[in-house]
A and B are shown apart, each in its own frame.
Chain A
Amino acid sequence: MVMEIVCPAGTPAALRAAVKAGAHTVYCGFNDETNARNFPGLNFNRTELRDGVNFAHQHGAKVLVAINTFPRAGDEGIWHRAINDAEICGADAVILADLGLLDHASRNHPALRRHLSVQAAAANADVINFYAETFGVKRVVLPRVLSVPEIAAINTETDVETEVFVFGGLCVMAEGRCSLSSYATGLSPNMNGVCSPASHVDYTEDHGVLDARLGGYLIHRVDKGEPAPYPTLCKGCFSAGEKTGHLFEDPVSLNAEKLIPQLQKAGVTALKIEGRQRSKSYVAQVVRNFRAAVDALDAGRPLPEGMLARLSEGQAMTTGAYKKTWR
């Protein structure tokens, strides 16, 4: 079986570009707080989703709808409508994290396939099987805290399909269990679908020194000519004890392309690319490369060498938790 490439789409144009570039599956979200990439100018209204699903289906691709924030008390209706509308639009599955929402979907939309979002941080076989037995979850997106041998071990203990991140942004914290962003800005991935939101970013340049602040906290300070990373909290430069540096994570992004054969051996069903906030040109290139890689693997050919190096934007790459020493 060819490994499934699951690709992000922040806009209808990106969805079409991803499908054309060879994505087996595209994931996207509604343009509100029900999804974890609730960024200005991004995502789909109901008509756009229906058209996008039609387009994908015509080209043999699937569409998953991420409804993976945690509904706000008193406003659960917004999230319930999102599930309902995803089903009406013909989505192939919804990606959920909240227990109440999983319970709601399994009771009211039993025919709609349910995937467990990375935001649920299900990090072992016992809890994954619990989600499957309780809510009929068919696939789990594994949190980015696991090594390849641990993923392999999980797959021997569960029938639930596993999907893992292979490229793009990297959360260093267990996903869905981090409120750093709301501590500094009031807006969080869990509640608002944003992390380190642009609305709270402030760049100031003084004599060539660029300060990037988030919610008033200095996250990066770079000299003239140095690249200016986006001020994502956990990738900032801080001091503790005698040391100053990237105490939590370097400003790196994930690239597990070299691990694709190992991930396949580990029993992984699908490879997920992060980046619904990225441009369609970026998405198309990443997808083309990963599709070529899994096709080569399936045909018994060697993987194209260093295929994604040029997509790194000059940023350092890491294989993250997939290698145990990352911890």
Chain B
Amino acid sequence: MSDPQIPMPYCPAVLAAGLRALPLAPLSLSLTVFARKIAKSNPGLFNRLGEYDRTEFVLDPVDLPIVLRLNPNGGQPKVKLTRRHTVASARISGPLAALLGLVHGAFDGDALFFSRDLVVEGDTGAVLALRNAIDDAELDLAAEAASLSGPFARPVQNLIAFAENRTGLCLTRPEDSAIW
């Protein structure tokens, strides 16, 4: 649950600057492979998007010099990292920690959207669909990344490690046993 008293952690500028030199094309390719693996193991995620399953989403971590374009592409997702401010039909921007927290169900989307930690532009309905679909999917990004193999595995695993270190978020899904 997000606590409005605790400010969302921002990515340190030095590290963010490091991303500026990184070649984005190979990383985009790795992330596309990663997204397709997730799509395969969570078919419900893309079904839930319904009419928005071909909507172009931009996820914009405002503390990083890159943005991520995600096109669900009817269940064959495409991911592209760019450095430029791109136009899309739906855009969610906010600190990396808030974006990842949303994906991982650590925060309640309603709270994030309306506390302005996350800013939604464009098609609010599409963003809502994406949020609800992700909330149902119970994604475990760390486990999904760990089980990747082949040439695309390492860059994704590095990225997850980077995100975990920088945001202080644990990207392994907490055990349900805590709830029982």
Chain A contact residues, CB within 8 Å of chain B:
10-14, 17, 20-21, 31, 39-42, 197-199, 201-203, 205, 210, 225, 227-230, 277-282, 284-285, 288, 310-311, 313-314
Contact = CB atoms under 8 A, between A and B. Distances in A.
Nearest to A45: B47
Contacts of B3: 310
Interface in B68-104: none
Contact of B124 (A10, A20, A198, A313): A198
A173 to B, nearest CB: 21
A285 B135 CA distance: 15
Given A13-B137, A40-B50, A279-B108, A311 B1 contact: yes
Interface in B94-138: 105-111, 113-116, 119-121, 123-133, 135-138
Contacts, number: 112
A61 B120 CA distance: 37
Nearest to A48: B44
B110 A313 contact: yes
Contact of A279 (B109, B127, B130): B109
Contact of B179 (A11, A20, A310): A20
A11 B115 contact: no
A13 B136 contact: yes
Given A42-B132, A199-B125, 19 more contacts: A10-B136, A11-B135, A13-B138, A40-B51, A41-B50, A41-B129, A41-B132, A198-B124, A198-B127, A203-B119, A203-B124, A227-B115, A228-B116, A277-B132, A279-B105, A279-B110, A280-B105, A311-B1, A314-B4
Nearest to A285: B1
Interface string B156-169: 00000000000000
A241 to B, nearest CB: 29
Contact of A281 (B105, B125, B126, B137): B105
A199 B123 contact: yes
A20 B1 contact: no
B119 A205 contact: yes
- Most chain A beta-carbon contacts within 10 A, residue among B51, B114, B123, B133: B114
B56 to A, nearest CB: 16
B50 A313 contact: no
B34 interface: no
A227 B131 CA distance: 20
B135 A40 contact: no
Find the residue from A20, A41, A229, A282 having the highest chain B CB count within 10 A: A41
27 contacts: A10-B132, A10-B135, A10-B136, A11-B135, A11-B136, A12-B44, A13-B137, A20-B176, A20-B179, A39-B128, A40-B50, A41-B48, A41-B52, A41-B132, A41-B133, A198-B124, A198-B125, A201-B124, A205-B119, A230-B113, A279-B110, A281-B106, A282-B111, A310-B3, A313-B2, A313-B4, A313-B110
* Max chain A Cβ within 10 angstroms of own Cβ: one of B121, B135, B138: B135
Nearest to B45: A41
B180 A20 contact: yes
Contacts of A21: 179
B141 interface: no
Contact of B120 (A40, A197, A203, A278): A203
B49 interface: yes
Contacts of A17: 179
Contact of B116 (A210, A277, A281): A210
Interface in B1-42: 1-5
B90 to A, nearest CB: 11
B135 A14 contact: yes
Contacts of B179: 17, 20-21, 284, 288
Contacts of B48: 11, 41
Contacts of A11: 48, 132, 135-136
Nearest to A169: B110
B114 A227 contact: yes
